């Protein structure tokens, strides 16, 4: 994303990576690279998908929902075990009502961090795609961990 032309505007589509547009036939990358990157990723191919409750994506409604979710969230201590270790996932048993939080520390700007190997590694360990143009809201990124919500929060 070109941060310098956004002028503080955000695209807050939670949990949606806009990475599938990369192309699979010589547009931006080789077919082999595309296959490696997306072979194990889930993405919707049903063109009849209905996105409901889009009013909840307006800034005030979205922030109210975030505050409500944060109030009941469970902090995941990554100093005990890393998301890159298999036992990390074996410890978590979640439902669709659960909200998990992982804090991550950045030394430089968030934009610089998102272009670093640390960002890509974090997303890879979480089973997500870190090379995509995923948007965050004030340093908070929403993902899914199974049926649960997973918030990554920059500190």
Q: What is the pLDDT of residues 49-64, one digit of tens each?
A: 777 787 877 888 888 9
Domain-wise residue ranges, the chain:
3-154
Write down the pLDDT at residue 26. Answer: 47
Helical (H) or strand (E) element with 153: strand 148-154
d(CA 102, CA 32): 33
Contacts 24+ apart (CB under 8 A), 135-143: 135/1, 135/10, 135/11, 135/12, 135/13, 136/10, 136/110, 137/10, 137/12, 137/62, 137/63, 137/66, 139/110, 140/66, 142/14, 142/15, 143/15
In angstroms, how far is the first alpha carbon of the chain from the final one?
21
Helical (H) or strand (E) element with 125: helix 117-125
Write down the pLDDT at residue 67. Answer: 94
Write down the pLDDT at residue 120. Answer: 80
- Residue ranges for the chain with pLDDT beneath 70: 1-30, 34, 37-38, 40-44, 129-135
Write down the pLDDT at residue 72. Answer: 95
Write down the pLDDT at residue 29. Answer: 62
């Amino acid at each position: 994303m070109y941060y310098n032309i956004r002028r503080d505007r955000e695209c807050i589509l939670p949990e949606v990576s806009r990475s599938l547009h990369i192309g699979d036939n010589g547009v931006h990358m080789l077919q082999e690279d595309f296959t490696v990157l997306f072979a194990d990723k889930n993405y919707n191919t049903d063109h009849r998908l209905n996105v409901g409750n889009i009013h909840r994506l307006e800034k005030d409604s979205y922030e109210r929902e975030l505050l409500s979710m944060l109030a009941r969230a469970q902090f995941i201590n990554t100093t005990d075990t890393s998301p890159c270790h298999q036992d990390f996932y074996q410890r978590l048993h979640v439902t669709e009502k659960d909200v998990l939080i992982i804090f991550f520390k950045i030394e430089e700007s968030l934009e610089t961090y998102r272009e670093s190997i640390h960002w890509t590694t974090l997303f890879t360990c979480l089973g997500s795609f870190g090379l995509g143009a995923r948007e965050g809201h004030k340093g908070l990124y929403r993902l899914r961990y199974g049926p649960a919500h997973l918030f990554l929060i920059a500190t």
